[in-house]
Amino acid sequence: MMKKFREVILLLLLLSFVPHAEGTRYSLPGKPALTRCRSPEKETFTCWWEPGSDGGLPTTYALYYRKENSETVYECPDYHTAGKNSCFFNKNDTSIWVNYNITVVASNALGSTFSDPVDIDVVYIVKPNPPEKVAVTVMEDKGWPFLRVSWEPPHKADTRSGWITLIYELRVKLEGENEWEMHLAGQQKMFNIFSLRSGGRYLVQVRCKPDHGFWSEWSSASHIKVPDYFHRERSVWILITVFFAFIFLIVSWCIHINSHSLKHCILPPVPGPKIRGFDKQLLKNGKSEDIFSALVVSDFPPTSSSNYEDLLVEYLEVYIPEEQELILEESKDLHDGCLKPKGSTFDSDSGRGSCDSHTLLMDKCGEAKDDGRQTDQDGSQTGSEAQRQQAAWEQEALTYAHEDMISPDMSSGRVKTWPSVFSPLPQYSLSPLSQPSSLETAKQHCLSDSLFPPSSLSSYLTQPGQSTKEYVEVHTVNEEDMVLLHPVPVGHSHGKGCLQTHQGEDYSKVNGVDKNNVLLLQREVMEEQVDMCPCENKDANGATESYCTSSAQKSIPCIHTALPVQEEKAVNGYVDTATMFPLPIH
Amino acid sequence: MHTMAVIQRSVWALLLWPSLLTVSMPLDCKEEQGSLSGCTSISQEKLLDRVIHHAELIYRVSEESCSLFEEMFLPFPLQLQSSQAGYACITKALPMPSSKSEIQQISDKWLLHSVLMLVQSWIEPLVYLQTTMDRYDHAPDMLLNKTKWVSDKLISLEQGVVVLIKKMLDEGMLATTYSEQGLFQSDVQPEMLESVMRDYTLLSCFKKDAHKMETFLKLLKCRQTDKYNCP
């Protein structure tokens, strides 16, 4: 009794001393504060407090509570279950019908300090535990994967009876990113997430909240990897294909629209032949007479001497060996060759000009060939004969011209001989195909040509270097004002192979054609007096003609009497060589 | 010793005096207050809502328990017999309004008191039911959990109704008179079938009374909000 009394006295003294003590390190404990109270399932709750300074002395804490409208003060039933500085209220002590008024008291040897009281309504402090058993699986919906997240409510929360109603929320993010994608799931315990990245790794978390209360903590993160899927790639390829097909259609349409101009650009048209001053329509529509009359140019051949200079073209002595001749006979497309130069005959722009007797001769030969072919079946042979003839003529004309050029005595003769070469030729080439008389003469001409043995001709032709000449003889003049000529063998030749001469025929050179379509012939040399010539005389057959040519201008000792020339009186008039006095040989 | 205790208590009372002063001052009450500085008392509407919610849950769970019990223990022919039942509900003797016209005439006070009477009369039988059901050989855990849950919640409901009465009617607390309800005594172990029948009767009666409680409370709420449209 006495001991206890002493203790009490001491306690009172201590209490009294406390206010007077100054400057000592001991003091009343600092004011504690209730930090939070939480109920996980609305059936129990826990309160935590924060202690103040302890004042240097060992301090104890106590929690007291009072129920609403009741004066009874109760002390915390359980200080240990929830940890340090906490008070746990179990089921029996928890009532949802009343508020709690809670105070924490810190006390040490010097005194006690009370915290501010706090009123608690259990229903409003509910913070559930995080949802449990969060399961994430990958599922497929028509090839597109999606995540199915399922979970269970915290086991303490009684949602089955409806005591607590929880709503859930989940969040998803890709590994390595910082932004979460939130989804509110309501009261359901399962959720689908779409729009996933192929091959991505995702983290999923879930939390819950009662209708009145706090959000729980996030559940631990669940990892899931979405498998790679190629549907997106396939759709991208389809898009690309469609796009390119569209582009292709557009391009092909543009090309189709511009096909004409493109064709001109890529494949330029080949320029066709053009004859200056010649109307192409005549070829399509007109008769042949019109065509050929159109081809005739009135001022051709140029008669003025001033044009002679233009006509003079330097020549190359062309010399065709036997093989080439054969090739020429067989494979030469004379028709084309004849056509082509025909166009250029009157084209002053081309380098060849009208002096190109080579081409002129070709024209003539082509025509002859055509005549022969069209008229007679033997025309093929005659055609070949004509080809040979033409080749020979070419050579002859060239050499003749050459001879003309080089002989100094014949300035005038040379001048004169030009037209003699040229003038008959165009006329000849214009021989119409449909004239029977001309055809007959051509036929005769061709036949006469054909009688000439080919071998002799070829042998004749193989002799190189021989300057051979040919002369044309006016055969007849037809109604069309055409002079039909045929070659006349000169009869004299220097070398061998000179064949029979054609006797009894006169020849004359045409000097010119005047404007009245009168041939002005020039009395040239010679008849084919063979005796004096070194030509060989063979074959007294008069029907044959020989291609023995000799240079009339050369001083050949061949002299022969002038034989009567075949002459016919043409409609337009012609010059009778026989009547003309014989010109001196030169 | 006695003096020491008195001195201790007096000292504590002195120390706690300031806190008592602060506590007695009412604070402003806010709706949906989640913070610590909440209201001193829960509002009447909130209380009534909670009580109704409570009663709904009890009824739902009791319904589930009853159906479970039927499936487990009762053979089919006896299900028909139970409605005719030799066993009357224990609360038959209570003065309850039974028809709709009677309920319309009853006052709020009587409604609340009826509810309280019902609740209080069922607390002990349910406890008894727990003990008997534990004796069964193969009673499923779910059934046992449900019945236990119901009995716990019923006690809580009683507390709530008491608080509600106090709030609404300004009447003092009515202590539960458990001792008066000592109808069931586990003195003799009855036969299995008889026991089963009795338990089943108990459960089905309780189910009906729980529904009655819920209906009364909802009617009360209806009268609070809109007096003239309520049934």
Residues B50-93 have pLDDT tens digits of: 999 999 999 999 999 999 888 887 666 666 555 555 567 777 77
Q: Is the dihedral of CA A189, A194, A199, A200 positive or negative?
A: negative
CB contact under 8 A, A121 and B38: yes
What are A144's strand-pairing partners? A141
Judge whether B184 is closer than 8 Å to chain A, CB to CB: no
- Quick check: is B75 in a domain? yes
Inter-chain residue contact A98 with B163, CB threshold 8 Å: yes
Rounded to a whole number of angstroms, the distance from the CA of B18 to the nearest CA of chain A is: 9
Closest CA to A459 of A536, A394, A407: A536
Q: Which residues of A touch B7 (CB under 8 A)?
A: 8
Taking CB atoms and an 8 Å limit, are A161 and B47 in contact across chains?
A: no
- Which among B19, B37, B156 has CB closest to A114? B19
Name residues 59-78 of chain B within 8 A of A (Cβ).
60-61
Question: Looking at the predicted structure, is the pLDDT value of residue A434 above 70?
Answer: no
Tell me how far apart the alpha carbons of residues A82 and A48 are, in angstroms, rounded to a whole number: 9
Residue A42 distance to chain B (closest CA, Å): 12
Rounded CA-CA distance A275/A272 in Å is 10
Q: How far is B60 from chain A (nearest CA, A)?
A: 8
In three-state secondary structure terms, A343 is helix
> Confidence band (pLDDT; 50, 70, 90) for A184?
very high
In this structure, is the dihedral angle defined by the CA atoms of residues A527, A528, A531 and A534, taken in order, positive or negative?
Answer: positive
Of A72-76, A262-266, A523-527, B222-226, the range with the highest mean pLDDT is: A72-76
Contact B152 A91 (CB under 8 A): yes
B150 touches A: beta carbon within 8 Å: no
Phi, psi of B159 (to 5 degrees): -60, -40
Mean pLDDT of B198-214: 89
What pLDDT shows up at residue A300? 61
Contacts of A135 (CB under 8 A, 6+ apart): A149, A150, A151, A222
Whose CA is closest to B129, among B200, B58, B179, B70?
B200
CB contact under 8 A, B38 and A119: yes
Cβ(B97)–Cβ(B106) below 8 Å: yes
**B208 vs A576, more confident:** B208
Among the partner-chain residues B32, B38, B152, the one whose CB lies closest to the CB of A120 is B38
CA distance A35 to B35: 10
Within-domain flag for B94: no
Contacts of A105 in chain B (CB under 8 A): 15-16, 19
Which residue in the set B50, B60, B152 is minimally distant from A96, CB to CB? B50
CATH number at B197 reads 1.20.1250.10
Condensed to tens digits (0 to 9), the pLDDT of residues A218-241 reads: 999 999 998 887 666 677 889 999
From the list A34, A101, A123, the residue facing B23 with the nearest CB is: A101
Q: Tell me the nearest-neighbour CA distance from B81 into chain A, angstroms.
A: 30
Mark yes or no for CB contact A119/B18 under 8 Å. no
Contacts A116 to B, Cβ<8 Å: 22
Number of domains comprising chain B: 1
Of residues A317 and A115, more confidently modeled? A115
Q: Which residue of B has its CA nearest to A47?
A: B36
Question: Over 80: is that where the pLDDT of B44 sits?
Answer: yes
Cα distance from A83 to chain B (closest Cα, Å)?
A: 20
Q: Which two tokens stand for residue A178?
A: 């910082």
Helix axes A454-462, A322-331, angle to 10 degrees: 130
Q: What does the pLDDT average to over A482-498?
A: 58
Which chain A residues touch B4 with a CB distance below 8 Å? 4, 8
Q: Which secondary structure element, helix H or strand E, spans residue A461, and what is its range? A: helix A454-462
Residue B68 within any structural domain of the chain? yes
Q: Which of B144, B125, B146 lies closest to B134, judged by CA?
A: B144
Query: What average pLDDT does chain A have?
Result: 69
Mutate to test the interface with B, among A97, A126, A160 (most CBs of B within 10 A): A97
Q: Does B24 touch chain A (CB under 8 A)?
A: no
Contact list, B149 vs chain A (CB under 8 Å): 161
Closest residue by Cα to residue A213 from A153, A130, A126: A126
Substitution target from A36, A44, A161, A216 for chain B, most B beta carbons within 10 A:
A161
For strands A519-522 and A509-513, give the pairing: antiparallel
How many Cβ atoms from other residues are within 10 Å of residue A29's Cβ?
Answer: 25
Number of A–B residue contacts, CB under 8 Å? 87
Q: Nearest residue of B to residue A99 by CA position?
A: B41
Half-sphere exposure of A495 (CA within 13 A, CB side): 13
| Domain span holding position B110 | 42-82+100-229
Distance CA(B43)–CA(B227), nearest Å, equals 20
Measured in degrees and rounded to the nearest 5, phi and psi for residue A511 equal: -80, -40
pLDDT per position as a tens digit, B115-158: 998 899 999 989 988 888 888 877 788 888 899 999 999 999 99
Strands, sheet with A181-186, edge to edge from the N-terminal-most edge strand: A181-186, A166-174, A201-210, A222-225
Q: Do A98 and B41 touch (CB under 8 A)?
A: yes
In this predicted structure, the answer to whether residue A30 has a pLDDT above a threshold of 70 is: yes
B148 reaches A (C-beta below 8 A): no
Query: Which CB contacts under 8 angstroms, 24+ apart, belong to A150-154?
Result: A150/A189, A150/A190, A150/A191, A151/A189, A151/A190, A151/A206, A151/A219, A152/A189, A153/A128, A153/A189, A153/A208, A154/A40, A154/A41, A154/A128, A154/A129, A154/A130, A154/A208, A154/A216
| Secondary structure E strands in A386-530 | 471-477, 483-488, 509-513, 519-522
Lowest mean pLDDT among A123-127, A296-300, A309-313, A522-526: A522-526
DSSP per-residue string spanning A8-65: HHHHHHHHHHHHH--S-S--PPPPPEEEEEEBSSSS-EEEEEE----TTS--EEEEEE
Say what the pLDDT of residue B10 is: 72
Per-residue pLDDT band for A340 (boundaries 50, 70, 90) equals very low
Tell me the angle at which helices A357-375 and A411-422 cross, rounded to the nearest 10 degrees. 30
Residues of A in contact with B36 (CB under 8 A): 34, 36-37, 118-120
**Helix (H) or strand (E) run with residue A184 in it:** strand A181-186
Nearest residue, CB atoms, A36 vs list B27, B36, B39: B36
Return the higher-pLDDT residue of B231 and B156. Answer: B156
Task: Compute the distance between CA of residue A437 and CA of residue A566 in angstroms, rounded to an integer.
Answer: 17
Percent above pLDDT 70 for chain A: 52
The answer to the question of residue B187 being in a domain is: yes
In this complex, the residue of B7, B18, B159 whose CB is nearest that of residue A97 is B159
List C-alpha distances in Å: A385 to A326, A393, A524, B181. Answer: 11, 12, 27, 156
Distance in Å, alpha carbon of A206 to nearest chain B alpha carbon: 22
Q: What phi-psi label fits residue A140: left (phi over 0), alpha (psi between -120 and 50 degrees) or beta?
A: beta
How many angstroms separate the CA atoms of A561 and A222, rounded?
135
One-letter identity of residue B183? L
In DSSP notation, A243-296 reads HHHHHHHHHHHHHHHTHHHHHHHHSPPPPPP--TT--HHHHHHS-HHHHHHHH-
- Given CB atoms, is B40 within the 8 Å cutoff of chain A? yes
Residue B53 inside a domain? The answer is yes
Write out the two tokens for A294. 């159109």
Q: Which chain A residue shows the shortest CA-CA distance from B46? A: A97
For residue B196, being part of any structural domain is answered with yes
* Residues of A engaging B, defined by a Cβ cutoff of 8 Å: 4, 8, 34, 36-37, 64, 66, 68-69, 73, 91, 95-99, 101, 103, 105, 112, 114, 116-121, 123-125, 161-163, 212-214
Asked if B52 is an interface residue toward chain A (Cβ–Cβ < 8 A), one would say no
Q: Within a 10 A sphere around the Cβ of A487, how many other Cβ atoms?
A: 22
Stretch (H or E) spanning A306: helix A306-311
Picking from A95, A103, A124, the nearest residue to B34 by CB comes out as A124
Tokens of A243: 């796009």
Position B87 in a domain: no
Residues of B within 8 A of A66 (CB-CB) are: 23
- Distance (Å) from the alpha carbon of A119 to chain B's nearest alpha carbon: 5
Assess contact for A202 and A172: CB atoms under 8 A. Answer: yes
CA A342, chain centre distance (Å): 42
Predicted confidence band at A313 (pLDDT cuts at 50, 70, 90)? low
With beta carbons under 8 A apart, name residues in chain A contacting B48: none
The separation between CA A540 and the C-alpha centre of its own chain, rounded to angstroms, equals 75
Average pLDDT of chain B? 77
Q: Would the CB atoms of A97 and B42 count as touching at under 8 Å? A: yes
Give yes or no for B81 touching A (CB within 8 A): no
pLDDT at A246 over 90: yes
Predicted confidence (pLDDT) per residue in A376-433, tens digit: 444 444 444 545 555 445 555 444 444 444 444 444 444 444 444 444 444 444 444 4
Neighbours of A24 (CB within 10 A): 10
User: Which of B34, B38, B152 has its CB closest to that of A214?
Assistant: B34
**In terms of C-beta density within 10 A (0-12 exposed, 13-18 middle, 19 or more buried), how is residue A78 classed?**
middle
**Contact B33/A at CB under 8 A:** yes
Residue B3 in any domain: the answer is: no
Residue B168, chain A, CB below 8 Å: the answer is no
Using CA atoms, how far apart are residues A387 and A385, in angstroms rounded to an integer? 5
**Quick check: A121 and B32 CB within 8 A?**
no
Burial call A32-56: b when 16+ CB within 10 Å, e when fewer: bebeebbbbbbbbbbbbbebbebbe
Helices A231-257, A259-266: crossing angle, 10 deg rounding = 80
Best probe of the B interface among A96, A113, A118, by most B CBs < 10 A, is A96
**Contact (CB<8Å) B32/A124:** yes
Pick from A292, A366, A360, A358: nearest CA to A335: A366
